Structure 1
Amino acid sequence: MRFVFAVVTLVVAALLVLLGLAQRTVFAPPDSVTSSITTRSDAPVTVIPAKALKGFAGRESIHIEGGSKAFAAYGRTTDIRGWVGDASYNQVSFDKTTQKLVTKTVQGDATTPDPADSDLWYQQYSGPELNFSLDAPDDISLLVASDGTSAAPKTVSVTWPLSTATPLVGPLISAGLLVFVVGILLFAWAIRHHRRTRGPRRNSGSRTRLPRSERRGSVRATRRAALGTGAGRGSRGRRMTAVVPVVLVATLGLAGCSSDYWPQPSSDGATSAATPTASATAVPQASDLQPPAVTTAQANRIVQRITATQNTADKNLDATLAATRFTGPALALRKANYAIRKADKTAAAPLSIPSGTVTLTLPQQVDTWPRTVFAVVQDSAADSKVSPVGVMLVQESARDPYKVDYLVGLEAGAKIPRVAPASIGAARLAPDVKLLTMEPDQLAAAYADILKSADASPSAKFFQKDGDTLRDKIGKPYKDAKKAKLPATASIAYTSDVGADPSIAFATIDAGAIVSVSLDEIETVKPTKAGAEVNTEGEVKSLSGVSKSTKGIVASYGVQLLFSVPPVGSSDKIVLLGFSQGLTSAKEAS
């Protein structure tokens, strides 16, 4: 009976091990699931929101084909929707009942611009067929298109990984090995018991009886022969002793293998994190605010694209190309400079964005348009003497690229106020906000008066004088010196106009603001006697095309300014962080 128990135990052990191995072979679950859509509409765009991309958990592998050209990009959902606008598009969703992707067409405009290289995308892909993977956050969508004119690629498939965990493998195989050990022990016990109970068989025939002492010796010899010698018993003992460690090592090895082979504890009972206490000085969380206009990676890519366009336009004196990436006072200064350099090859180039690193990114908190981003760019050359530049970028609509509105060289030693990280961004303040020591739309006129009257200006008490090098370049000392050099037959007058572009103000952490403004410094030179002439020279001559005039010359210099403005009630002064200036127009007086 003991042998029966041992055999049954070994059979059970084998069945347990085989069942465990079957979990990883015959009964192994699939490692992925794929869902595809095939569109038949002529819509130029297909949009797949994050909810559809997250139909199953895990990183999505995406395949796109069906057309002469395929393009895909992902970005923030609000940005994708803003870019698509009123165009027709295929809207993809995930049907939870069938667990498949489905699509419907939303009718609208038949075409869109070419989506390639839009400043809105986090990443983009292009080619005859596309294969890529991403782990889509909840707030992004995927845009699929061709060139904006042709229909979007017809076939899009998404593959998700599935869990291949088989939590019964470990317990089954471990139990099988444990039962195997028990079976071996039972088998050994049965053999030992059988041999102990075996004795010499009775012989009914007549036989000479041995003396008792000899008979006992014969019995002992017989038993030794049946059980084996002492060396034999030791050998079996050693073999049995070796089997158990081997089995135990195998069991422990299995216990240390992949967690997919073992049941895992539920995360439902995880300890919840402590709730932070609200504080008046706490930095607002990103979820409480509008999202930043761009990420740091986007800002770097945008600046690189602008720099490449700028360098080509500056080299070829191409104002039309410059207009694709410059606007406002920054573009006006460049256009005039190109005209001057076409007439005078020795004229200096305008202030440019260096090919370097974006050391500060401050995007506006906004999910509509227009949008604004402030950035500081540092030349990458270790021995460069080029000062960092401050750039105000604006994007008028979702389909427009970011353009440089203000471009200034930072003053030596300029300290940018503390601002929120790029992942949070900052609010853009209204031009007439009352929370600063001076309203942003009043800064240009106030500073223009300082350039005209210096310390005698009523506004001088609000501005820091130390470190302001622009006052020496175009301020009252410069104006007085130029006036003194004129002959008695000519006069010069200076006036100022606030720039046509609105001020741009970003809130800082200390409740102050970084503010960009512009103004036009107008210089009018006229003859004072009948028949006298005014001679022009340098840039004024190159831009106006007039060498002398009996009527006079009017020259306008565009000035772009960047200020740090403290909050209302502060004893700190307004600091000029940077500036750029140059001739923007010159003509004969009427």
Structure 2
Amino acid sequence: MRFVLAVITLVIAALLVLLGLAQRTVFAPPDSVTSSVTTTSSAPVTIIPASALKAYPGRESIHIEGDGTSFAAYAKTADITAWVGDSAHNRVSYDTSLKKLVSKTVEGTSGSVPDPRDSDLWYTEFSGQALNFSLDAPDDISLIVATDGTKPAPSNLSVSWPLSTATPLVGPLVTAGLLVFLIGIGLFVWAIVHHRRTRGPRRSSGGGRRPKLPRAERQGSVRSSRRAALGASAGKGSRGRRMVAVVPIVLVGALGLAGCSSDYWPQGPSDSTAATATPTPSASAEAPGDALQPPAVTVAQAKRIIERIVSVQTRADKAGSTDLASTRFTGPALEQRTASYAIRKNDDSAALPVSIPTGSVTLTLPQQTDSWPRTVFALVKDNDSTKVAPVGVMLTQESARDAFKVDYLVGLEAGAEIPKVAPATTGAARLAPDVKLLAMEPDKIAAAYADVLKDGKESASAAAFQTSGDTLRPKIGKSYKDKKAAALPATAKIAYSSSVNDEPSIAFATNDAGAIVSVAINETETVTPTKKGAEVNTEGEVKSLSGVDKSTKGIEATYGVELLFSVPPVGSDDKIVLLGFSQALISAKEVS
């Protein structure tokens, strides 16, 4: 009976181990779940919001396919919504009751959208016949799917999510199997010991006496019975040893498997609590109404935008194409390039205005905003030459569907120190043109500096600006103007005037409560004859742009000047510092 109990125990141990192993094989859970949806409308765009992408936890694997080339991109949900606008589109959601993705068509007033490729809003985009990619989308991210903006959006969409393959019963089952196995071994040893203690001939309990065998026969009979008993015992022990040899191998291997991962064991309440714990609001936490708006772009977006602008700049400069340049330049920056292209048609040796080098974006300062227009300030350094000054680029985006364009573009002064600003992940506020928190209101800086260029130290605004490090004043300031006037012959005279460019000033808050401010002015030189019959001769860029060799009426030349200043906060003893500038001829004509 003891041997039977031992065998039954060992069988139970084997069953427990096999059941534990089955958790990783026969009963193993699936490693992913997939939901597919097919759109049948003619809408040119499909939006998959974060709520659908995050129907299950984990990284999403996405498959998109339709007729022709498919396009997909992900970006902030608010940006995608603004880009789609009132156009018809499909909206995918996850139906929790049906446990699958479903699509609904949202009718709109427009049946098409612009080509979505290369929009500055997208974080990353994908294009191809059949798209397969993965995301780990945050809660504020959505996916936009399209073709070319006119044709229907790709119809076949599927999203796969990883599932937990944890089998928490493996460890307990295998461990229980081992314990039962040890108990079985103990029972087996106990059975053998008991058998050996009770082996040998038993006396008869009857009252009669058996006849005595001869001595030789009696000894042979005893030896035969002992050999038989020992033979039976040895047979059982051999089979037991074979079983003992096989079961441990299975148990030890399974136990090694069970012990190598936490997925094979139940997780305690503390683990799940830690995984789902959320911070407790504190007294210092910001109220919802005080939450900062998101930065207009990420660092990666800014770098990609600058790269695209440099590409357009290179091609536009080579072709002298204002139309091409206007896709990435606007305001004062475009004015300088437009005039430059006209000059270079007559003189291809003429220098181009300040350009963005092919190099590294060393500073990205996006505006804190979730609406439009949007602004970004960036510094770009030439990686190939230390002699080329870094440039400051002020980018603006008028609407969700517009590209970011260069509004102001300046070369930095030697030794210019940019004030400390917020990190790109936070961004900075764009200040109002008439903000009273600075030493001078942004929309008054251009006129004040123009007066300094005209009158020098005698200007009423001279005390507000730092002279040291300002290399623009010697080039176009009062001393330059006086020398140029003195060099004219007696038959001609020169008059100077200035005006503030129509482009609004742009001011970004800095960490010291000051601001980085971009403005532009137009400096005009008008040369006229002083005697009847006298002529004014033109040369260089003025001649190339005006197309006039000489004139008895006079010549008017206007130079566009873009300026970047560091402005201290109100009440500070610091002065306004010129950080950089660019100057180029933008107009030349005969006096009417």
TM band (smaller chain): over 0.9
Aligned partner of 1:531 in structure 2 is: 533
Provide the secondary structure at the position in 1 that maps to 2:334.
helix
Tell which deviates more after alignment, 21-30 or 125-134: 21-30
- Measured in 2, the distance between the counterparts of 1:396 and 1:269 equals 46
Contact 1:340–1:543 (CA<8 Å) still a contact in 2? Answer: yes
Structure 2 residue 357 is matched with structure 1 residue 354:
yes
Residue segments in structure 2 that go unaligned for 5+ positions in a row: none
Aligned partner of 1:296 in structure 2 is: 299
Contact 1:494–1:523 (CA<8 Å) still a contact in 2? Answer: yes
Contact 2:171–2:259 (CA<8 Å) still a contact in 1? Answer: no
Provide the secondary structure at the position in 2 that maps to 1:175.
helix
Q: CA deviation at 1:465?
A: 0.7
Contact 1:174–1:254 (CA<8 Å) still a contact in 2? Answer: no
Q: CA deviation at 1:225?
A: 9.8
Contact 2:177–2:251 (CA<8 Å) still a contact in 1? Answer: no
Aligned partner of 2:446 in structure 1 is: 444
Aligned partner of 1:487 in structure 2 is: 489
Contact 1:464–1:574 (CA<8 Å) still a contact in 2? Answer: yes
Aligned partner of 1:305 in structure 2 is: 308
Structure 2 residue 502 is matched with structure 1 residue 500:
yes
- Measured in 1, the distance between the counterparts of 2:493 and 2:561 equals 23
Q: CA deviation at 1:206?
A: 3.0
Q: CA deviation at 1:255?
A: 4.6
Q: CA deviation at 1:274?
A: 7.8
Aligned partner of 2:147 in structure 1 is: 146
What amino acid is the match of 1:288?
A
Which of 393, 401, 412 lines up with 2:414 in the alignment?
412
- Measured in 2, the distance between the counterparts of 1:584 and 1:461 equals 30
Correspondences of 1:372-383 after superposition (within 5 Å):
372-381=375-384, 383=385
- Measured in 2, the distance between the counterparts of 1:253 and 1:315 equals 69
Aligned partner of 1:278 in structure 2 is: 284
Q: CA deviation at 1:532?
A: 0.9
Correspondences of 1:39-438 after superposition (within 5 Å):
39-108=39-108, 109-202=110-203, 205-207=210-212, 250=253, 253-266=256-269, 267-270=271-274, 278=284, 288-381=291-384, 383-438=385-440
Provide the secondary structure at the position in 1 that maps to 2:313.
helix
Contact 1:374–1:392 (CA<8 Å) still a contact in 2? Answer: yes
Contact 1:195–1:227 (CA<8 Å) still a contact in 2? Answer: no
What amino acid is the match of 1:119?
D
Q: CA deviation at 1:199?
A: 1.7
Aligned partner of 2:461 in structure 1 is: 459
Cα gap change, 1:385 to 1:376, in 2 (>3 Å): same
- Measured in 2, the distance between the counterparts of 1:43 and 1:239 equals 72
- Measured in 1, the distance between the counterparts of 2:116 and 2:250 equals 63
- Measured in 1, the distance between the counterparts of 2:572 and 2:289 equals 28
Tell which deviates more after alignment, 64-73 or 401-410: 64-73
What amino acid is the match of 1:576?
L
Residue segments in structure 1 that go unaligned for 5+ positions in a row: none
Contact 1:351–1:408 (CA<8 Å) still a contact in 2? Answer: yes
What amino acid is the match of 2:70?
A
Contact 1:174–1:251 (CA<8 Å) still a contact in 2? Answer: no
**How many residue pairs were aligned?**
580
Contact 2:17–2:251 (CA<8 Å) still a contact in 1? Answer: no
Contact 2:70–2:130 (CA<8 Å) still a contact in 1? Answer: yes
Cα gap change, 1:239 to 1:150, in 2 (>3 Å): closer
- Measured in 1, the distance between the counterparts of 2:474 and 2:579 equals 15
What amino acid is the match of 2:52?
A
What amino acid is the match of 1:206?
P
Contact 2:410–2:582 (CA<8 Å) still a contact in 1? Answer: yes
Q: CA-to-partner distance for each residue in 1:67-89, whole Å, 9 max, x for gaps?
A: 11211011010110111011100
- Measured in 1, the distance between the counterparts of 2:479 and 2:566 equals 24
- Measured in 2, the distance between the counterparts of 1:14 and 1:327 equals 79
Cα gap change, 1:285 to 1:67, in 2 (>3 Å): same
- Measured in 1, the distance between the counterparts of 2:155 and 2:68 equals 11
Q: CA deviation at 1:10?
A: 1.3
Cα gap change, 1:222 to 1:277, in 2 (>3 Å): farther
Q: CA deviation at 1:418?
A: 0.6
Aligned partner of 1:554 in structure 2 is: 556
Q: CA-to-partner distance for each residue in 1:141-197, whole Å, 9 max, x for gaps?
A: 100001011010111111111111110011101111221121122112112211211
- Measured in 2, the distance between the counterparts of 1:361 and 1:292 equals 10
Q: CA-to-partner distance for each residue in 1:344-364, whole Å, 9 max, x for gaps?
A: 122112111000010000000
Q: CA deviation at 1:277?
A: 6.6
- Considering only aligned residues, what root-mean-square deviation do their CA atoms show, in Å? 2.9
Tell which deviates more after alignment, 191-200 or 38-47: 191-200
Aligned partner of 2:15 in structure 1 is: 15
Q: CA deviation at 1:254?
A: 3.5
Provide the secondary structure at the position in 1 that maps to 2:410.
strand
What amino acid is the match of 2:178?
L
Q: Normalized against structure 1, the TM-score is what?
A: 0.92
Cα gap change, 1:44 to 1:235, in 2 (>3 Å): closer
Q: CA deviation at 1:583?
A: 0.3
Which of 516, 519, 534 lines up with 1:517 in the alignment?
519
Q: CA deviation at 1:340?
A: 0.7
Q: CA deviation at 1:453?
A: 1.0
Provide the secondary structure at the position in 1 that maps to 2:296.
coil
Q: Normalized against structure 2, the TM-score is what?
A: 0.92
What amino acid is the match of 1:178?
L
Cα gap change, 1:158 to 1:274, in 2 (>3 Å): closer
